[in-house]
Amino acid sequence: MRTITGLYDPYEYAREAVNPLDDAGVPSDHISIISNKDGKEDSHI
């Protein structure tokens, strides 16, 4: 298994980065977003 990391600012860019992974067939339980942003956003996709 490979690990890929990225840093995004603002948070929405990180959310957008998930779309190509999803389109490529990466299972959603293999994708995580970790954020220090306050609010109701997902911490795990």
Apex 10 CA angle, 30 and 20, nearest 5: 40
Hey, what are 8's tokens? 């995004």
Cα(12)–Cα(2) distance, integer angstroms:
24
Decide: helix, strand or coil at residue 28. helix
For residue 16, pLDDT over 90 is answered with yes
Who contacts 28 (Cβ-Cβ below 8 Å, separation ≥6)? 22, 45
Q: Which amino acid is at 44?
A: H
Mean pLDDT of 20-26: 95
pTM of the shown model? 0.63
